[in-house]
Amino acid sequence: APSTSTAMPRQRVTAKGQNVPQAIESFPELAERYEMNAQFLKNLEQNGYGEPTGIQAHGIPILHEGRDLAAISPTGTGKTLAYLLPILSLLGLPAVNSKADVGNGVRAIILAPTRELAHQIHNECLKLAQGRKWRVVLFSKATANALNDKNVRDKVDMIISTPLRLVSAIQSGQVELSNVRHLVLDEADRMLDTEFLDQVQEIVAGCSREGVQKGRVQCYPSIRVVVGLKDTPLPLITQSLTYVAD
C-alpha cells in the first residue's frame, strides 16, 4: 500500500530569467506536459510524495525543458528530488535497456561536498528509480574500481560523488566525461569554496559535450529559482549571483 503522503509546505518562489516555464500544480501534470514515464509517478506516490514542494513545482519544469538552473531554498524543502526527477526523466531509458544511441559512458553526474550527503542523494534516487534498471553509482574507491571494466563503465547512467573521488577516478581512466549531459552541484555554496573549487572546475571543464545542462542547488534563507543562464559558463553562474531574502 502507498505510504501516507506528507504534505510539505508550498513555499513562495521567485523566478528570474527569460521565458520561465510555468510551475506545476501536481506531479501527474508532468505526464501530460512532458510525457513523463508513469513509473516515476507511481514511485512518487508509493514513497509518500503527495504534492510538489515550491522548489519542485518551479524547478522540475525548468530542468525538464533543458534549461540551466540555480536553485536556492532552505534545508528540507526537497531540492534533491527537484533535480533527480527531471534528470532521470530526460535520460529516458536506462542505458542498459536503451535501443537508441545514448552514447557510451555516464550521462549524469551529481557532485556533493560530503560522502554523507552523496549517500542521502543516492537513497533518494533509489526511490525514484524503482522498477527500472538504472545504474546509479554512489562513488567510493570500490565502486569506482568496478568501472575499470569497460562494459560496466559504458552502461552507467548516473554517478553521485564527492569532487575529489571523481577527479581521481577521471585520472585513473575509470570515468570519462564526454557523454555527460547533466551536471549538478549540490550544496553549491560549499562546492565553490576554496576547498573544492579546483576539482569542481576541472570537472566542469571536462564536461565538454555541447549543451550540457548545469545546475546547482544551495541552501539559503530565501527561495529563488534562476533560469536563462544557458550560455553562461558554470563558474560564472555560480559566482555572479546575489540573493536577497524577500
**In the chain, what is the greatest distance between 2 CA atoms, to the nearest angstrom?**
51
Residues whose CB falls within 8 Å of the CB of residue 113, separated by 6 or more in sequence, listed in order: 162, 163, 186, 187, 190, 191, 195, 196
Segment interacting with ligand ADP, rule: CB under 6 A, options 77-85, 90-98, 157-165, 166-174 = 77-85
Residues 49-108 that bind Mg ion (CB under 5 A): 79
Q: For the chain, first and last CA: distance in Å?
A: 40
Supply the minimum distance, in Å, between the C-beta of residue 129 and ligand ADP: 14
- Least distance (Å) between residue 52 CB and ligand ADP: 5
CA distance readout (Å), 219 to 56, 79, 199: 14, 9, 21
Cα–Cα dist 40/146, whole Å: 28
Is residue 40 at the binding interface for ligand ADP, with CB under 6 A as the rule?
A: no
Min separation Cβ 55 and ligand ADP, Å: 7
Judged by CB under 6 A, which of 70, 72, 81, 125 binds ligand ADP? 81
Residues 106-145: x/- map of binding to ligand ADP (CB under 6 A)? ------------------x---------------------
Bridge partners, residue 110, by sequence: 160, 184
Binding site for ligand ADP (CB under 6 A): 6, 8, 49-53, 56, 73, 75-81, 124
